[in-house]
């Protein structure tokens, strides 16, 4: 493995999380969008029923710099939204 493309973190409060990662740590917001979660059955229970807000933040210097994804399912809670699997498989992508 040559590096890490990105790290994704599920958050309960996007605005509070942005104050930390963007305002305090200085990461740059690259995109902020609401997306359907239907294509992520290993990450969410009942993925066909909802949407998530995903914010991509860049860190580092250069064209190959990594990014952080903050993911919030509005109105959701980790207990209801997380997949019931004990873990989600790690799959390298983008290499």
* Whether 27 contacts 21, CB under 8 Å: yes
What are the pLDDT digits (tens) for 23-57? 999 999 999 999 887 766 666 666 666 788 999 99
Bridge partners (DSSP) of residue 92 are none
Walk across the sheet containing 67-72 and list its strands. Answer: 6-10, 67-72, 51-58, 28-36
What are the pLDDT digits (tens) for 55-91? 999 987 776 777 899 988 766 555 554 544 444 444 4
pTM over 0.85: no
**pLDDT number for residue 88:** 46
- Cite the DSSP H helix spans in the chain: 14-18, 78-81
């Amino acid at each position: 493995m040559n590096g890490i493309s990105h790290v994704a973190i599920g958050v309960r409060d996007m605005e509070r999380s942005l104050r930390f990662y963007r305002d305090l740590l200085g990461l740059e917001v690259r995109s902020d969008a609401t997306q359907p979660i239907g294509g992520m059955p290993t990450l969410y229970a009942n993925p066909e029923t909802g949407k998530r807000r995903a914010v991509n933040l860049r860190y580092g210097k250069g064209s190959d710099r990594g990014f952080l994804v903050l993911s919030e399912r509005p109105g959701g809670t980790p207990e209801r939204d997380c997949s019931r699997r004990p873990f989600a498989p790690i799959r390298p992508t983008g290499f």
